[in-house]
Amino acid sequence: MTSLPRCVAAKLNLILIAVLITSVGACSLAKGRGIAEAAVIRFHDQFNAAQYHEIYSETDAEFKKVASENEFVTLLEAVHRKLGTVNGSQQSGWGVNSTPMGTVATLNYDVDFSEGKGSEQFVYHISGSKATLYRYNVNSPLLITK
Q: How many residues does the chain have?
A: 146
Give 114's contacts (C-beta < 8 A, 6+ positions apart).
83, 84, 85, 87
What confidence tens digit (pLDDT) does each residue in 23-45 have?
334 436 678 899 999 999 999 99
- Helix, strand and coil in the chain, % to nearest 5: 50, 35, 15
Residue 20 has pLDDT above 60, yes or no: no
On whether the CB atoms of residues 73 and 52 are closer than 8 A, the answer is yes
21 vs 119: which has the higher pLDDT: 119
| Whole-number pLDDT of residue 16 | 42
Count CB neighbours of 43 within 10 A.
21
126 vs 5: which has the higher pLDDT: 126
Q: Cα(98)–Cα(91) distance, rounded to whole angstroms?
A: 21
Please, what are the domains in the chain?
A: 6-145 (3.10.450.50)
Q: How confident is the model at residue 111 (pLDDT cuts 50, 70, 90)?
A: very high
What confidence tens digit (pLDDT) does each residue in 46-72 have?
999 999 999 999 999 999 999 999 999
Which helix (H) or strand (E) is 3 found in, with range? none
Residue 98 has pLDDT above 90, yes or no: no
Q: Is 16 helix (H, G, I), strand (E, B) or coil?
A: helix
Residue 15 has pLDDT above 50, yes or no: no
List residues bridging with 88 in a β-sheet: 112
Q: Cα(26)–Cα(106) distance, rounded to whole angstroms?
A: 16
**Structure pTM?**
0.80
| Whole-number pLDDT of residue 6 | 59
Q: What is the mean pLDDT of the chain?
A: 86
DSSP annotation of 101: T
